[in-house]
Amino acid sequence: MTSSNTIFKGYGIADPSKWSDFKLVDIKPKTWEEEDIDVAVSYCGVCGSDIHTVTVSTSYVVHFTLLTETLSIIHRHEIAGTVVRVGSVAAQNTGIKVGDRVGIGARCNACGVCGPCTSHNENYCMNGPVDTYNGRHADGTLSQGGYSTAVRANHQHVFPIPDKITLEDAASMMCGGLTMYSPLIRNGAGPGKKVGIIGLGGLGHYGVLFAKALGCKVYVFSHSSRKQQDALKMGADHFVVSEDKESMARLRGTIDLIISTVDVVDTFPLAEYMSLLVVRGTLINVGAPDTKLPQLAAFDFVPNGCRLGGSCVGSKQEATEMLKLAAEANVKPWINVLPMSKVKEVAESMKAGNARYRFVLQQDIL
């Protein structure tokens, strides 16, 4: 089959008002370039941002207005599979070959020439990175994701998976794992550091797993004690119910780094969490609420010189380091594997908050 008539298949959504009504459709990938790699999808994780996008959350730019150009959008960007085609430039630059096990995350291309791209920060590309699905390639093609038989991506966004990691375990690391690993490593997480994880969902559980793998002392913060036993089984050293004001007060000025994964802001005690940080400590937000974060007064962060920041997925360098650490430390995500044909019920269960802690779909398209 030549590049001009290559067709993949996938489960797509054409109408956001019917956001869980997936239909199996044909996909014409972007025009083949010698920097590209085609990956046959074996497993694909289900990310919370996918639900935001398909339900037209205000936090995400979506392309459902482009339905005159495309029948459906194929979602998901936590992809693990096997290489079936490698361009000559891709092979020369990466050493990746047909048959290799690889992963693809939230981005499938970037400009490659801006400041971020040339400093191992391509996830912050200034000229518009191409999301793995719902993005726009240079040839005008709408990018399509991992609920499919195969995905085409630029080689800079394809990550070899170590033999010690199964493809089903690797899948959700491609976004969920990397989203937590990047702010940990960029903010000095390591032996002797105290790290707080706000929210024990899909992202939060990866925060616990990777913070422990890095040698940190881990505190999980949640609004109730419902997930306490899970947190401790994952390796958390402490579980703190944020409604318990005495427990929160005892931790003031003690936490080096806090990562917030939650997307609820109306009751989020941001100032209180800032008070838990050590001098020059940092709170990083990776959650994507639809509304603005709570207001802060200057004296909520000035007295201890603490910082508030954000983080967006991670770079290829960080993805490679993350997978190496996962293999060496035997990081095992808590996943529930189901056939891809169950996509409708999985998406609805994910939106209802029932994931414990990541759904992963096994490709079963004939």
Kindly list the domain boundaries of the chain, sorted by start residue: 3-175+314-362, 180-310
Beta strands in 146-254 (DSSP E): 150-154, 158-160, 194-198, 217-222, 238-241
* Cβ contact 80:178 at 8 Å: no
Please tell me the predicted confidence (pLDDT) of residue 15: 78
Residue 274 neighbours by CB under 8 Å, 6+ apart: 283, 296, 300, 301, 306, 308
Is the pLDDT at 357 greater than 50? The verdict is: yes
Is the pLDDT at 55 greater than 90? The verdict is: no
Kindly report, residue by residue over 249-305, the tens digit of the pLDDT. Answer: 999 999 999 999 998 777 899 999 999 999 999 999 999 887 888 999 999 999 999
Is the pLDDT at 216 greater than 90? The verdict is: yes
Confidence of residue 133 (pLDDT cuts 50, 70, 90): confident
Helices 202-213 and 176-186 sit at what angle, rounded to 10 degrees?
50
Is the pLDDT at 121 greater than 50? The verdict is: yes
The yes/no answer on whether domain 3-175+314-362 falls in CATH 3.30.360.10 is no
Please tell me the predicted confidence (pLDDT) of residue 56: 52
* Cβ contact 341:47 at 8 Å: no
CA end-to-end span of the chain, whole Å? 18
Please tell me the predicted confidence (pLDDT) of residue 185: 99
CATH among 3.30.565.10, 3.40.50.720, 3.90.76.10, 3.30.1330.60 for 180-310: 3.40.50.720
Per-residue pLDDT, averaged over 62-88, amounts to 72
Please tell me the predicted confidence (pLDDT) of residue 19: 82
Please tell me the predicted confidence (pLDDT) of residue 351: 84
CA distances from 91 to 32, 37, 226, 230 (A): 14, 9, 48, 42
Q: Rounded to 5 degrees, what are φ and ψ at 7?
A: -130, 130
Cα separation, 7 vs 114, in Å, equals: 32
Confidence of residue 54 (pLDDT cuts 50, 70, 90): low
Please tell me the predicted confidence (pLDDT) of residue 14: 79
Per-residue pLDDT, averaged over 332-355, amounts to 94
- Whether this prediction's pTM lies above 0.75 is answered by yes
